[in-house]
Amino acid sequence: MNDDFNMERRLMLAFLLSAVLMILLLRPWSNPKTAPQAKPAAKPAVAASAGPLASAPAKAKAAVKPAQAAAAPIAASHAERVTVNTPVYRLEFSNRGASARSWILSRYTDQYWHPLDLVDAKFSQRHGYPFEFWSADAGLRKQLAQALYQVKLSQLSGGRQQLTFRWAGNGWSAVKRFEFGRGYEFQVSTELTHNGQAQPHGLAWPGAFASSSAENDFVTERIFARQPGKLLKWEPKNIAGISSPLREGYEYAGLENKYFALAFLPNNTPEIELTRMKTSYHPLVMSHGREIAGKPAETLGVAIGGSPQWRVFIGPKRLALLGRVAPHLSELVHFGWFGFAAKPLFLWMRWTYEHIVHNYGWVILIVTFVITMIMYPFRLKAQKTQVKMIALQPRIKSINDRMKKLPLKDPRRMQLQQEMMKLYQEEGINPLGGCLPMLIPLPLIYAFYEVLETSIELRHAPWLFYYHDLSARDPYLIMPILLVATQFWFMALVPMAAGQDQMQARLMKWIMPLGMGYIFFFLPTGVNLYYLGSTLIMVSQQYVINRHYAPLKGAAPAAAAAAGKPRAGTPAPAARKPRGKR
């Protein structure tokens, strides 16, 4: 009990001593002494600048006035929303934070066929809205994001619109201007000062950029920046939280996903300050007509600084459009490892769409028909080579049997190999000629896949019936099932390869269609359409080959009989039992 009382007395004494010290320390500042009158020699200079002053406090007060005028409070009385409509945008801004609350691309829809809003409202409520001021000082960021700006929307010549936000308080002053035209490119200028002194700052898009454009689109998010001669990209795994800013001579920098991009292009600024950020997030997905929390995802955001004026592009990643905005901006459209085949294929498909038929489903079938017909002479030549190979099988088998009896390092093996090559030359056979028609379709399949996965022109592209999006999987799996059926049909028409084992040939007729079907079950409808159309055309070509080139039908059985092998479809003769000793 005494200990508690002693502690209370000590606390009381401590408080009293603190109060006395505070009074003693603050007293000289509360009653300042009057400064002496200025000397007569100094009067002309003072009079020229601020007039005759009676005391130093008055002089100090006059010196403070300009700073107070520069930081005079400017704020709106209440929160309000401003709507800006252009031919390609439908935008909504809030004067709280001078930020974008909705950024709808008028000509595009999301994965649920609703108007595509690039702003994720749920994410932004927790982590910040697009085009808020960015500063390394978190307290200042919060102050600028909560401030109520005065806003003015002006109509300019040529159909342009200017949106201006102004705020000032606590010595800070902020101005933000947007100028929109008729396209996907617009101008942004910003000012941020403290007591009249310019302060470093930037603009941010915190994350979830165009997150509703496709399912699981967070996995395709990338931060990009282009140095002279090189495009840099960062994935979520390369970033932890808010990274230290990078200050380089970037030509442009921004944020992208599979189909859309946000790019900041500086106006005559040698360096850009790029801050990269990653945030964990539970996106909302539709389930049975209602929104539920989806799987946790990691979304990327950027803050761009270093310049008071920017050209900004927000829109679809169309090759022609990106090329008009900036010379190297089209590099954002990347067709993968097979870009050498995918990009020409895409350009061909786009030309066909613009000049022949305005439906990408029919475009795919037209391109497929042309490619398959171009490949027909090669397939025909390969099958003619196959006939000759079958006819040579007895002689080839004889050479192989002799080669098996020799050691691996025996020089006579080289002589036998030369003998076999001479045999091929005499008959005009290229042993690898039959592989070409099988190898060429493989990069084309991947090229079609990359075109459908990358090109926004084929996003939500319809064809027939319920096929409303060729870049998506077939929801009822009808086309993959048809593809497997046609593969069985085609494999039944193709003759057995030279030297192929009968059991192996039967297995291939089952394994190939089922294996291809498994792969194509997970590919976009457009890729299935290409391979289904290609298989049907090849079936008709195989009918022509088998009918008009009779040697193909009898060459395999004849060669098999000459080599001592049973004919396809006939049982092998029973093995003779060895006789016993007499």
Q: What is the pLDDT, as a whole number, of residue 39?
A: 40
pLDDT bracket for residue 488 (50, 70, 90): very high
Q: What is the pLDDT, as a whole number, of residue 35?
A: 39
Q: What is the pLDDT, as a whole number, of residue 377?
A: 87
Average pLDDT value over all residues in the chain: 81
171-180, 187-196, 260-269, 491-500: range with lowest mean pLDDT: 491-500
* Residue labelled with tokens 């929307």: 153
Q: CB-based contacts of 256: which residues, under 8 Å, 6+ apart?
A: 209, 221, 222, 224, 262, 317, 332
141-145, 503-507, 543-547, 568-572: range with lowest mean pLDDT: 568-572
Q: Is the pTM of this model over 0.85?
A: no
The answer, yes or no, to whether residue 8 has pLDDT greater than 80, is no
Q: What is the pLDDT, as a whole number, of residue 425?
A: 82
pLDDT bracket for residue 61 (50, 70, 90): very low
What domains appear along the chain, each with residue ranges and CATH number? 81-334 (2.70.98.90), 343-392+429-562 (no CATH)
Top-confidence residue, 318 or 22: 318
Burial classification of residue 18, based on how many CB atoms lie within 10 Å of its CB (0-12 exposed, 13-18 middle, 19 or more buried): exposed
Q: CB-based contacts of 46: which residues, under 8 Å, 6+ apart?
A: 38, 52, 53, 59
Q: What is the pLDDT, as a whole number, of residue 497?
A: 66
Top-confidence residue, 556 or 138: 138
CA distances from residue 174 to 170, 193, 351, 434 in whole angstroms, order as listed:
11, 7, 48, 71
20-24, 168-172, 358-362, 507-511: range with lowest mean pLDDT: 20-24
pLDDT bracket for residue 3 (50, 70, 90): very low
What is the 3 state secondary structure string of 455-524?
CHHHCCCCCCCCCCCCCCCCCCCHHHHHHHHHHHHHHHHCCCCCCCCHHHHHHHHHHHHHHHHHHHCCCC
What φ, ψ does residue 228 adopt, rounded to 5°?
Answer: -55, 115
Give the model confidence (pLDDT) of 380-436 as tens digits: 887 777 777 777 878 888 888 888 888 888 888 888 888 888 888 887 777 666 666
* Structure tokens, 526: 């457009």
Q: What is the pLDDT, as a whole number, of residue 6?
A: 44
- Average pLDDT rounded to a whole number, residues 199-208: 95
Q: What is the pLDDT, as a whole number, of residue 367?
A: 96
Q: What is the pLDDT, as a whole number, of residue 566?
A: 46
- Average pLDDT rounded to a whole number, residues 140-152: 97
